Amino acid sequence: MGCCMASMATNMMENAYAQQGQIAAQAAQQPRQLATGDTLVPMNYITGEYPSVYPSWFNQQQITTQTWTQLIQALNQVTMPALAQSKANSLNMVNDAMKPTLNVNTAMNRNMQYQ
């Protein structure tokens, strides 16, 4: 029974990630120029990906597309694996919590591993 519950919980989490992923992708499609003149570069909070769309107002600030591309690639190299690991840790924690033989001490020890 624990196996089935863990599988159901994992499926529910995967579905939630998929639904949230669509929303996150839309929210992080492109950078925005704020009223202050600053640039907001949103990150997809599910995948950790930053948008690769070059902001047109950067031409005025002499920031090249090459510089922009290098920046986004560097950010993605850090954030995407980190969020993938976080997702895997969350799924592992749910699976562990659903196992009927898991005692409190083991659960706490595993939780410390995921942090």
* Cβ-contact 42, 31 below 8 angstroms: yes
The H or E element spanning position 62 is none
**pLDDT score, position 17:** 75
- Is 91's pLDDT higher than 80? no
| Global pTM value | 0.67
**pLDDT score, position 90:** 80
Percent of the chain having pLDDT more than 90? 38
Q: Tokens representing 34? A: 């704020």
Distance CA 44, CA 81 (A): 13
Pick 65 or 106 by higher pLDDT: 65
- What does each C-alpha distance from 110 to 17, 34, 61, 89 come to in angstroms? 22, 42, 49, 10
- Is 25's pLDDT higher than 90? no
Q: What is the mean pLDDT of residues 86-96?
A: 79
The 10s digit of each residue's pLDDT in 32-88 is 999 999 999 999 988 899 999 999 999 888 899 999 999 999 999 999 999 889 888
Q: Could you tell me what percentage of the chain is helix, strand and coil, using 3-state DSSP and rounding each to the nearest 5?
A: 65, 5, 30
* Cβ-contact 31, 51 below 8 angstroms: yes
What's the chain's length in residues? 115
Q: Tokens representing 42? A: 């949103």
**pLDDT score, position 77:** 97
